Structure 1
C-alpha cells in the first residue's frame, strides 16, 4: 500500500506492526501513530507520512530497533544510537556474567539487586549520561536503612555493568559507580554502618542434651536437623534438599553437585551416625526423591519447619550456628587434626589461591575420622 495514494473508505486504519498504525481521517489527513510501552519507554506520538511505503516502514523499523535497545527514538530524546540505556547494557552484561556463576541463588541476587535498587532511577538513562550523583541517589537509601552491605554489593555489580559498557565503546567518561576515589567521599564505609552479626551458636557442651531432645521426636523435621548437625559441612538449604540419588552408602559418601552448592561440589563422609538418620528417614520416603520430603508432593521440607525445632534450646540459636559449635569443639577438644581438616569438614576452601592450585586433595579419610568423633560426641547424651 502507498499511503499517499490511498483512496479507499475514510476514516481508515492499517496496522503496520504492534507499535505503528497508519491512520487516515475523514478529511484525508494521513499519519502513522506510534504507541509504545516497553523497556521502560512509554509514549504515544505521530510520525510524518512520506508517501513512500518503503521509507515509512524503514523508519518504523528503526524506531523499533532503538526501543529494543532501551533507547527512546524520538528526535529530542535520542542523541546517539550507539549510547544505549543502562538497562540494555545490564541485560547484555548479565548474559555472559550469569553463565560464569554456578550458584542459582547468586544468579538471582545479581539481577535482583540491580533491578530493585538501580534500574528504577537510571535504567532508562543513556549509559553515557549517568553521573556519580545518579548512582549515589539510587543507593543512598540502602545506607539510610542500615543495609550498606547490600549497597556495597549493588555498587560493585553496577560498576561491572559500566565497565562492560566502557569496553564496548558505549561510555567515554569514567566509571561513575567506583567506590575508591569517588563514592567513598560521599557515603560511609559499609563496615562502619552496620557490622554483620555472627550466626548465634549453641555452646558445644550443651549440644548433646539438645540432640537428645531431637532424638526423642519422631518426625522428618527432627531427622533433617539431626542430619544438618552431623554432616556439618552442609547449609540448611543444601541439606533439606538432599536426595537419595546423592547418597552412596557403599562408599560412605554424600555427593552434592556444584549447582547446589555455594562454592564447589561437596563430598561428605557418611558416618555410622549419619547412616542411622538416613535409615530412619526411609520411613518418610514418598517416592519424590527427597530424603526429607514436604507434605506438599514433590518438594523438600521448608526451612521454617526445621527452624521451629531450635526452640528446644533456651538460647536464640540458628541452624548455621551449629557450624560454629563444631569448629569450637574441634579446636578445643580434638588432637591431631590440622585447621585445614577442620575447615574442609565445613566445606570451606582451604589455603590461599596458590595453595588451592597445587593441593587437589579433600582430606576425605581424615574428615571421616573427625566427623565420626563429632558424631560420638553429639550422641553422648543418648
Structure 2
C-alpha cells in the first residue's frame, strides 16, 4: 500500500519545482506551468468523482504561502467531509455576488437617466425639432420632479398617477402625451434589463380603469377665471405666504405657461432690464421667448431670492416647485379654474379692454403668428409694445381700474393697431 504524503513540499521546493503537478499531501498540490507560473490546487473526491479547485497563486506579489495553502486545503477538507462540494459553493457565491452587483447597478439607474438615454438614442429619427423639445419639456416639467431620481425599476402605478392626476383634467392632451412618453421610457428600461413586470403607465387594461378617457374631457379648453374676477383673486393670493402663491401670481402677470414658470432658472432672468428670457428648449413652439417683466413681477423675483436654488421657484436647491403645487393652491382657495386658464383670462382682457392688436397679444402668449411667409418677413418680437401691454395687465391685476375702465386706462402707442 503506497505511503500517504503529508507536508511533502518545502518553501524551497515550491520555488524551484519543475513544470508539472507536485503533491504536498492530503489533496494539496502545486501546479507549475511551462511558463513558470505557479498556483495551488486542492484535489478532492466527492460522490465518486475527482475534482480540482484552485486556491490562488504560489508565486508573485499576491502569492499564497505554503502554510496558508495548507490551511485553505484543511478548511476545504472539512467541507468535503460534510458532503459539501466547495467548487459548487464557490460558483453559487460568485453567481450571488454577480446578481447583487447587477441589482446594485440597476438600482442606480434612475428614471431620468433612462429617459435621457432613450431621447438621445431616438431624437435623430423624430420628425422635427419641436417634437424632440416637447418630449424633453413635458418630462422635465411634469415627470422628473416626481420620477426623476427614482430607480427606474421601482416606478409603479402610484408614482405614475402622482404625475398624471394633477394635470389629467386641466391639460388632457399634454397629460395623455406625457403618459405615452412615460410608458415608452419604462418599456425601454425593461428592454435594457433595468426593470421587470407590467408597465404601470400602460393605458389599456390598466390606467384606463383609473383615469377618465381623454375623449370625455374638454379638449383644447382650460377652465378660466373671468378677467373681472382676477384683481380680487390676486388680492387674496397676496395674503398667502406659500411659494406656490408667488409662482402663481408671477404666472398670471407674465401670461406664461406653468411649465415655463416652474422650470425658470435664475440664469434666464435679467432683473436690471426686467427681462426673463425663456430658452427655446423650454418653449412649446421651440423658439426663444423674451418676457417683459412688470414691476410687480420683478418684486416677486426679488422676494423669491430668499429661496436658495438654481430654480427661481425652488422646492429644494436642485429641484423646482412641483408641477401640481399651483393647482393644489387653487383647490385650497376653492377656485374651480385651471392654472393654464389664466392665459385665457389675460387674452380676453387684452381683446375687450385694450386697443392693442391681435399680434401683440398673441406674441405675449408666445403663440405662433401668421403663416410661414409672414413669419419670414417679421423679424421683431414687438417687445416694447408687449412691455406696455404687460405693465397695463399688471396694473389691472393690482386693482387699479375696473374692467369697464381698462379700455380708457390703456393707451396704445401710435401705429399700434396697424402693427
- The TM-score bracket by the shorter chain reads 0.5 to 0.7
Name which of 349, 352, 359 aligns with 2:371: 352
Q: Structure 1 residue 372 and structure 2 residue 400: aligned?
A: no
Name which of 244, 247, 261 aligns with 2:269: 247
Q: Is the CA contact 1:224–1:306 (under 8 Å) kept in the aligned structure 2?
A: yes
Query: For residues 262 and 95 of structure 1, do their structure 2 counterparts lie closer, same or farther at Cα, with a shift above 3 Å needed?
Result: closer
Q: CA deviation at 1:322?
A: 0.1
- Residue 224 of structure 2 aligns to a residue whose secondary structure is coil
- Residue 363 of structure 2 aligns to a residue whose secondary structure is helix
CA distance in structure 1 between the aligned counterparts of 2:292 and 2:302, rounded to whole angstroms? 16
Deviation by residue 1:361-382 (Cα, 9 ceiling, x = unmatched)? 1010000000000000001179
CA distance in structure 2 between the aligned counterparts of 1:307 and 1:114, rounded to whole angstroms? 27
- Residue 255 of structure 1 aligns to a residue whose secondary structure is strand
- Residue 267 of structure 1 aligns to a residue whose secondary structure is strand
Deviation by residue 1:281-302 (Cα, 9 ceiling, x = unmatched)? 12x321x2211111x4411111
In the other structure, the counterpart of 2:133 is: 102
Deviation by residue 1:107-150 (Cα, 9 ceiling, x = unmatched)? 89586576789xx9xx9xxxxxxxxxxxxxx99989x999987x
Deviation by residue 1:270-317 (Cα, 9 ceiling, x = unmatched)? 1112111112212x321x2211111x4411111222222213654411
Normalised by the length of structure 2, the TM-score is 0.48
Name which of 260, 278, 296 aligns with 2:301: 278
CA distance in structure 2 between the aligned counterparts of 1:91 and 1:289, rounded to whole angstroms? 24
Q: Is the CA contact 1:235–1:320 (under 8 Å) kept in the aligned structure 2?
A: yes
Name which of 280, 283, 291 aligns with 1:258: 280
In the other structure, the counterpart of 1:201 is: 224
Name which of 307, 310, 330 aligns with 1:289: 310
CA distance in structure 2 between the aligned counterparts of 1:281 and 1:91, rounded to whole angstroms? 33
Query: For residues 196 and 275 of structure 1, do their structure 2 counterparts lie closer, same or farther at Cα, with a shift above 3 Å needed?
Result: same
Name stretches of at least 5 consecutive residues in structure 2 with no aligned partner.
Answer: 1-48, 52-117, 144-177, 192-201, 402-419
Deviation by residue 1:185-216 (Cα, 9 ceiling, x = unmatched)? xxxxxx8x876151000001111111001111
Q: Is the CA contact 2:137–2:282 (under 8 Å) kept in the aligned structure 1?
A: no
Q: Is the CA contact 2:137–2:281 (under 8 Å) kept in the aligned structure 1?
A: no
CA distance in structure 2 between the aligned counterparts of 1:367 and 1:141, rounded to whole angstroms? 48
Structure showing greater Rg: 2
CA distance in structure 1 between the aligned counterparts of 2:185 and 2:323, rounded to whole angstroms? 26
In the other structure, the counterpart of 2:110 is: none
Q: CA deviation at 1:105?
A: 3.6
Normalised by the length of structure 1, the TM-score is 0.52
Number of residue pairs aligned between Structure 1 and Structure 2: 239
CA distance in structure 1 between the aligned counterparts of 2:361 and 2:241, rounded to whole angstroms? 31
Deviates more, 1:358-367 or 1:310-319: 310-319
CA distance in structure 1 between the aligned counterparts of 2:119 and 2:334, rounded to whole angstroms? 48
